[in-house]
Amino acid sequence: MISAIANCFGRGSLVVLSPNKTITIMAENGIGDYGWIKEASEQTRYVGSNIAGVYGFPDDYEISDLLTAQFKDWILDFERHCGEPGFDWEAFNAKGKQLAESLSVELEGKYHVLYRAVYS
């Protein structure tokens, strides 16, 4: 994700600035956690520290009420069906990916946003 493109020195040179944090959207069973943050330079499978759950992101992320409600519905759906073999996990993951993409748009490139599928 490109966080900003700047015209430097008035000569038409472009500098691409990358976000320094990665937010991973990944459902976790238990208490409705789904948002995790870490340094973008950290290239491990570790998703980072929890920053969002059933109650949404902290206010300073300025996530819309609509997206917050959609994430809440999504994570509660996970909590209800976690481990259920007949549940449509493909559709669940497609919805999670769509929510992560919407989050990326709302964050306006300030963070790199990833989605990690469950039961895939």
Cα(55)–Cα(63) distance, integer angstroms? 12
- The answer on pLDDT for 79 being more than 90 is yes
pLDDT single digits (tens) 99-113: 999 999 999 999 999
The DSSP symbol for 60 reads G
> Averaged over 70-99, what is the pLDDT?
95
| Residue 1 confidence class, pLDDT cut points 50, 70, 90 | very low
Q: Which one, of 109, 71, 106, lies nearest residue 92 by Cα?
A: 71
The confidence score (pLDDT) of residue 10 equals 41
Q: Which one, of 22, 30, 31, lies nearest residue 1 by Cα?
A: 22
| Residue 8 confidence class, pLDDT cut points 50, 70, 90 | very low
Cα(93)–Cα(25) distance, integer angstroms? 10
Longest dimension (CA), the chain: 59
pLDDT single digits (tens) 32-60: 999 999 999 998 889 999 999 999 999 99
- The answer on pLDDT for 78 being more than 50 is yes
Calculated CA dihedral for residues 88, 94, 95, 98, nearest 10 degrees: 180
> Averaged over 67-79, what is the pLDDT?
97
Q: Are 75 and 34 in contact (CB under 8 A)?
A: yes
